[in-house]
Amino acid sequence: MLNKVASDPRQRIPSVEKVLQLDGAKELLELYGQTQVTFAIRRVLNQLRTELSEDKLHLLSLENIVSECQKWLKVQQTSSLKGVLNLTGTVLHTNLGRAVIAPKARDAALKVMSSPVNIEYDTVQGERGERDDHVEHLICQLTGAQAATFVNNNAAAVLLALNTFAIGKQVVVSRGELVEIGGSFRIPDIIARAGCELFEVGTTNRTHKKDFDLAINPSTAALLKVHTSNYSIEGFTAEVSLHAMAQIANSHHVPFIADLGSGTLINLEEFGLSHELTVRETIEAGADLVTFSGDKLLGGPQCGIIAGKKEYIQRIKSNPLKRALRFDKIILSILESTLRLYQHPEKLAHELPTLRYLLRSQDEIEQLALRIFPTLQDLLKKDFNVSVASCHSQVGSGSLPVDRLPSMGFQITPIHPQFSATKLAAMFRNLPVPMIGRLHKSDLWLDLRCLENENDFLEQLQHLKMPL
Ligand SMILES: *Cc1c(COP(=O)(O)O)cnc(C)c1O
């Protein structure tokens, strides 16, 4: 007798156990293990339960179920953090992880990661040691500071310094320096979170020595100068020199803290770039404490460095917050080997990727562009005009904010309005190694300053599905 009532197709969904018995599933078990595979099967079967209808019965095939599991497991296994090609023209791009670590520093970190290390152990005396000691002497040597201490990033360095000296008290800052960096670091907020009160002096464009003199009161605990990292104030301006601020702070026995932001250990002018006040110059001009980042112009790992007078550094080291903000052995090792590169300045421009990128000549970048050009043009020519064009890179991360470095790249202009540069940019971003360019007006620009090997670029082009 025929059953006239159409049976619910969902009753034909196999059990998890049945799928697990399949040969295809056994391969997955080998690769991903019982827990993940069972989870994936449950997921796929649940999905079937909600999607299945008479016209989708093909979804029920066991091969389809296994292949859906496989697809899902593969996506799950792919890390969302991956290497990209930085073609934005911004060398120190905060969203792309800032400085690329030097190979020597990377190798040193590998060793430290895979064995116990004497990070806080004095192997000579056989007793407890200090983690800062491994790099403090290097910073002192390279900056002329008496002492130094290290934390997770420069925001933490500023927070810790302010909290140490001015909790419950006032920090005096010029109104022209109340900066916001990258959206989440704002000087007024950091001062508040450090438990201090902000005392603003002067105006946006002009601050005078007398403004600071008048601000000092019994509640004053520190003077702070902040590098205006991502903008410049031009025109009718006045700022108080480091030297004058140091004098005021000194005569009132409060520390003068200079937040350099990027901070550099070398005179960039000697390398043909614009002058950026060095850490050494800032200390020589009278700053008691200088804070700066490890992964900006320094070209090392993310960390924050505080360098300056011994008595002040000592007090910072004994602040309980220091323990909460300390850096780890991997970062320590990368920082140490990066700083050692600075001991050999003749080779620095070769060994330190950040400096190497900054110093690349437009000619060299153009040669690279011309080697890639035929392949790129061939691929895109149906829908886009591609040309090798001169452009300007920037340092980024608030270093030398107004400097522009003559560079070379590809200017890609859509021929038909339906193929937008925005769409092409998205395709480049979706490559196995995402290529990140810059949209300007209706064009996509790929600046080649930070690309060293054309094969890295050409290899990705093979994955581009053209025409669109
Ligand atoms: C970048 C910057 C910071 C923050 O440094 P991070 O290392 O990103 O924490 C603080 N101050 C200034 C002036 C900066 O330029």
What pLDDT is attached to residue 1? 46
3-state SS assignment for residue 304: strand
What pLDDT is attached to residue 127? 96
Q: Are strands 304-308 and 121-122 parallel, antiparallel or unpaired?
A: unpaired
pLDDT digits (tens, 9 = 90+) for 129-167: 999 999 999 999 999 999 999 999 999 999 999 999 999
With bands split at pLDDT 50, 70 and 90, how would you rate the model's confidence at 9? confident
Average pLDDT across the chain, whole number: 93
Rounded distance between C-alpha atoms, residue 452 and residue 32, angstroms: 36
What number is the average pLDDT over the span 447-457? Answer: 97
The residue nearest atom 12 of ligand 1, judged by CA position, is: 261
Give me the torsion for CA of 243, 247, 253, 254, rounded to 10°: -40
Q: Which atom of ligand 1 is nearest to the CA of 94?
A: 8
What do you get for the CA distance between the two ends of the chain, in Å? 56
Q: How many helices (H) and strands (E) does the chain have?
A: 19, 17
What pLDDT is attached to residue 59? 83
- Amino acid identity at 266: I
Rounded distance between C-alpha atoms, residue 426 and residue 421, angstroms: 9
Q: Are 240 and 209 in contact (CB under 8 A)?
A: yes
* % of the chain surpassing 70 pLDDT: 97
SS3 content of the chain, % helix, strand, coil (to 5): 45, 20, 35
Residue from 93, 162, 185, 231 whose mutation best tests the ligand 1 pocket (most atoms within 8 A of CB): 185
What pLDDT is attached to residue 203? 87
What pLDDT is attached to residue 119? 97
How many angstroms from the chain centroid is the CA of residue 6? 60
Residue from 181, 277, 291, 394 whose mutation best tests the ligand 1 pocket (most atoms within 8 A of CB): 181
Q: Which atom of ligand 1 is nearest to the CA of 295?
A: 7
Q: Which atom of ligand 1 is nearest to the CA of 397?
A: 1
Q: Which atom of ligand 1 is nearest to the CA of 226?
A: 13
Under DSSP, the state recorded for 232 is -
As for ligand 1, residues whose beta carbon falls within 6 Å of it are 153-155, 158, 181, 185, 226-227, 229, 259, 261-262, 293, 304, 397-398
Rounded distance between C-alpha atoms, residue 99 and residue 122, angstroms: 31
Between vectors from CA 89 to CA 86 and to CA 93, what angle results, nearest 5°? 60
What pLDDT is attached to residue 402? 72
Count CB-CB contacts under 10 A for residue 33.
10
Report the separation in Å between the CA atom of 154 and the middle of ligand 1, taken as the mean of its atom positions.
5
Report the separation in Å between the CA atom of 294 and the middle of ligand 1, taken as the mean of its atom positions.
10
Residue 364 has pLDDT above 60, yes or no: yes
- Amino acid identity at 324: A
pLDDT digits (tens, 9 = 90+) for 98-118: 999 999 999 999 999 999 999
Report the separation in Å between the CA atom of 225 and the middle of ligand 1, taken as the mean of its atom positions.
13
What number is the average pLDDT over the span 344-373? Answer: 97
- Burial category of 97 from C-beta neighbours within 10 Å (exposed 0-12, middle 13-18, buried 19 and up): middle
The residue nearest atom 6 of ligand 1, judged by CA position, is: 154
**16-30, 53-67, 156-170, 172-186 — most confident range:** 156-170
Residue 335 has pLDDT above 90, yes or no: yes
Under DSSP, the state recorded for 403 is -
Residue 3 has pLDDT above 60, yes or no: no
Residue 301 has pLDDT above 50, yes or no: yes
Strand partners, 337: none
Count CB-CB contacts under 10 A for residue 267.
15
Alpha-carbon torsion (430, 181, 90, 283), positive or negative = negative
With bands split at pLDDT 50, 70 and 90, how would you rate the model's confidence at 468? low
Residue from 95, 96, 98, 154 whose mutation best tests the ligand 1 pocket (most atoms within 8 A of CB): 154
Rounded distance between C-alpha atoms, residue 438 and residue 261, angstroms: 25
Rounded distance between C-alpha atoms, residue 304 and residue 57, angstroms: 59
Query: Who has greater pLDDT, 83 or 183?
Result: 83
Report the separation in Å between the CA atom of 305 and the middle of ligand 1, taken as the mean of its atom positions.
11
Find, among 257, 243, 301, 304, the residue nearest to 112 by Cα.
Answer: 301
Find, among 94, 135, 100, 112, the residue nearest to 358 by Cα.
Answer: 100
What pLDDT is attached to residue 183? 65
The residue nearest atom 11 of ligand 1, judged by CA position, is: 261
With bands split at pLDDT 50, 70 and 90, how would you rate the model's confidence at 56? confident
Residue 439 has pLDDT above 50, yes or no: yes
Report the separation in Å between the CA atom of 191 and the middle of ligand 1, taken as the mean of its atom positions.
14
Residue from 193, 259, 297 whose mutation best tests the ligand 1 pocket (most atoms within 8 A of CB): 259
What pLDDT is attached to residue 5? 54
The residue nearest atom 5 of ligand 1, judged by CA position, is: 154
| Ordered DSSP codes for 105-161 | HHHHHHHHHTS---TTEETTTTEE--TTHHHHHHHHHHH--SEEEEESSHHHHHHHH
Q: Which two tokens stand for residue 178?
A: 């109340």
The residue nearest atom 7 of ligand 1, judged by CA position, is: 154
0.75 surpassed by pTM = yes
